[in-house]
Chain A
Amino acid sequence: AQSVTQLGSHVSVSEGALVLLRCNYSSSVPPYLFWYVQYPNQGLQLLLKYTSAATLVKGINGFEAEFKKSETSFHLTKPSAHMSDAAEYFCAVSAADSWGKLQFGAGTQVVVTP
């Protein structure tokens, strides 16, 4: 079974500051890991995914995440926050042998202040 924990339901960052969103997972088999973003009144959009290739994954809009097996983590970062990054971010995990069964974290709401 897989599960995901996102630390912090709300994060406030200043425009131009580092964005760091934390995600820890548990999985009994090699995981596939995803970060999705949800803007107000929209569905979820994929930011990036890890599928056992490079441990540092680059995504859209300047985001990247690093898979650390020893820490069972997949934290999302962006060097410089932009106002348009205000949204809710979801980490999700799936096992390599169980397509379609994504387990989502509870989400982290990001607020960007001028």
Chain B
Amino acid sequence: ETGVTQTPRHLVMGMTNKKSLKCEQHLGHNAMYWYKQSAKKPLELMFVYSLEERVENNSVPSRFSPECPNSSHLFLHLHTLQPEDSALYLCASSQEGRGPDTQYFGPGTRLTVL
């Protein structure tokens, strides 16, 4: 596998379910990101991890819980979501330390909350 991969690609869940989104980057980068892409709205940065430490949390509700066990993997744990959380969730990675570097995106997970 190359680049940034995300699983699952599609997820349908009820409001009481618990699920996790997975992201893996094969680029040797040291920073990873979660974005939310909703229809008619700009991409929203949710979380940033640098060297496995969370450095950004943009007022995201606690029903979203990120985890970065190592520099190649990033998870987004979901629980008791709301229908308005339905969106495309994108993961990205970059190499910190060279100024704002190119972020490489995965294909996203299309989440539907019933």
Contacts and interface: CB of A to CB of B under 8 A. Distances in A.
Given A100-B94, A107-B42, A44 B105 contact: yes
Nearest to A97: B99
Nearest to B40: A106
A102 B45 contact: yes
The SS class assigned to the A binding surface is loop
Nearest to A36: B105
A55 B114 CA distance: 48
Given A99-B94, A107-B42, 18 more contacts: A34-B102, A41-B107, A42-B107, A43-B90, A44-B90, A44-B92, A44-B105, A99-B96, A99-B97, A99-B100, A100-B33, A100-B48, A100-B100, A100-B103, A101-B45, A101-B100, A102-B103, A106-B41
Contacts of A42: 107-108
A102 B108 CA distance: 18
Interface in A76-114: 90, 94-102, 104-107
Given A96-B99, A100-B48, A100-B94, A43 B42 contact: no
